[in-house]
Chain A
Amino acid sequence: MTEENTPENTAPNRGMPLWIQITVWTVLVALLVVVFMGLIRAREGNVQAGAETESFDFTMPLFEGYYYKDAQEVSLTDLRGKIVVLNFWATWCVPCQQEAAELEEAWRFYEPDGEVIFIGVDYVDTEPEARDYLKEYDITYPNGPDMGTEISQAFRIQGVPETYFLDRDGVVQHVQLGPFRSTDQIKSIVNSLLAE
């Protein structure tokens, strides 16, 4: 067999240059990773009980007239040592309206002791509408807008209303998806956290 007729020398190399192949595969793998991460996040759902809020602490501005101890903004770290009831709501949310009275009643029950703090987080409302809502339902606990939807994204809320109960260490202990049935339901959850 002569050298010029060996199989290795008969077929010309028609493949793409190596650098193009590496680039194409790298881009495809990177895209797959991004899509995979997006799917993972989409499947995560909202923050569950047991989650520590230290990793996504936030500072939220408060509506005028709805300050917390005269402070115009509040952060979760400021509230360590207290039971926190974090309620996400919106004016266009009918179930939110259904539970507004229960939440306010529960707040007025716990406020004198200073052990429990209710925080209302307004989701994608305009301020005038939000203020009208707070006034209509005679809500007095601290409330503020979720600027940039950062807080709702941190808690990965799936809708409104959603309420997160945090213990004195800032750990989520209970998640309520949808409206509360009664004030007693709220008290039952808060009392269990106070007893710890």
Chain B
Amino acid sequence: MKKINILILLIIVISLFSVGTVAAQGGTDDISDDEVNAIAKQLFCPVCENTPLDVCETQACKQWRELIRLKLSEGWTEPEIKQYFVDNYGARVLSEPPAEGFSLLVYFVPPAIILVGIVVLFRAFKQWKDDDDEINALEAEASSTSTGEATNPDEDYLARFEEEMRKQD
């Protein structure tokens, strides 16, 4: 009986050493919502227009977010995941258009329009200021050359006009 007990104990001990360790695998549960949404907010909902994927509640958006989670759990990087979506669903799923082809206009046209607008406004303000300065100079000249005249600007211009006409005669 004693030998049997020792044998059983020995088998148990040997069995313990034969059991391999099983590492816990990182499944999709290890991927946080923040990690998923960090990529999802760079994509647009495929059904709703101009709705970021991280805030969209449609079934299609939920599927896409789960797909992002799956890809992250498989070790895909953010650029790889975004490229995957572009390859499968088109470049329009990106919230930021790629800087290539016709999409380049999106990056150049608005700044160009703003720049042109600034130039136009600057020149307009400058012209208004020049006009004001010229009017002030004419008024000062009219008041310094005339004696005992009325301070009405219309009369000043009329007097100046008459003077010019006399010079031409």
Residues of A whose CB lies within 8 Å of any CB of B are: 1-2, 5, 14, 16, 20, 23-24, 27, 31, 34, 90-92, 123-126, 129, 145, 147-150, 153
- Is B97 at the interface (CB under 8 A from chain A)? no
10 closest Cβ pairs, A-B complex: A92-B59, A124-B46, A148-B90, A149-B90, A126-B67, A92-B60, A126-B63, A14-B127, A129-B63, A124-B89
- Is B113 at the interface (CB under 8 A from chain A)? yes
Partner of B58, one of A92, A148, A153: A92
Q: Chain B residues near A20 (CB, 8 Å)? A: 116, 119
Residues of B whose CB lies within 8 Å of any CB of A are: 46-47, 58-60, 63-64, 66-67, 86-92, 105, 109, 112-113, 116, 119-120, 123, 127, 130, 164, 167-168
CA distance A92 to B47 in the complex (A): 10
B60 near A5 with CB under 8 A, answer no
CA distance A32 to B86 in the complex (A): 29
Partner of B123, one of A1, A16, A92, A123: A16
Partner of A125, one of B60, B92, B116: B60
- Additional A-B contact list (18), CB under 8 Å, known A2-B167, A27-B116, A147-B87: A16-B123, A20-B116, A23-B116, A27-B109, A27-B112, A27-B113, A92-B47, A92-B59, A92-B63, A123-B46, A126-B63, A126-B66, A129-B63, A148-B86, A148-B89, A149-B92, A150-B90, A153-B90
Q: Chain A residues near B167 (CB, 8 Å)? A: 2
Partner of A1, one of B47, B59, B120, B168: B168
Q: Chain A residues near B127 (CB, 8 Å)? A: 14
Q: Chain B residues near A1 (CB, 8 Å)? A: 168
A125 near B63 with CB under 8 A, answer yes
Considering the complex, give the chain B residue whose CB is closest to the CB of A90.
B60
B130 near A14 with CB under 8 A, answer yes
B88 near A145 with CB under 8 A, answer yes
Interchain residue pairs with CB less than 8 A apart (28): A14-B127, A16-B120, A16-B123, A20-B119, A23-B116, A24-B120, A27-B113, A27-B116, A90-B60, A91-B59, A91-B63, A92-B59, A124-B46, A124-B47, A126-B63, A129-B63, A147-B87, A147-B88, A148-B86, A148-B87, A148-B88, A148-B89, A148-B90, A148-B91, A149-B89, A149-B90, A150-B90, A153-B90
State the main secondary structure of chain B at its contact with A.
Answer: helix
How near does chain B come to A129, taking the closest CB pair, in angstroms?
Answer: 5
Considering the complex, give the chain B residue whose CB is closest to the CB of A16.
B123
Q: Chain B residues near A125 (CB, 8 Å)? A: 60, 63
How near does chain A come to B100, taking the closest CB pair, in angstroms?
Answer: 15
How near does chain B come to A144, taking the closest CB pair, in angstroms?
Answer: 12
* A126 touching B123 in the complex, CB below 8 Å, given contacts A27-B113, A147-B87: no
Q: Chain A residues near B86 (CB, 8 Å)? A: 148
CA distance A20 to B124 in the complex (A): 14
A2 near B119 with CB under 8 A, answer no
CA distance A65 to B137 in the complex (A): 89
How near does chain B come to A20, taking the closest CB pair, in angstroms?
Answer: 7
How near does chain B come to A125, taking the closest CB pair, in angstroms?
Answer: 7
How near does chain B come to A107, taking the closest CB pair, in angstroms?
Answer: 25
How near does chain A come to B138, taking the closest CB pair, in angstroms?
Answer: 12
CA distance A148 to B98 in the complex (A): 14
How near does chain A come to B167, taking the closest CB pair, in angstroms?
Answer: 8
Considering the complex, give the chain B residue whose CB is closest to the CB of A123.
B46
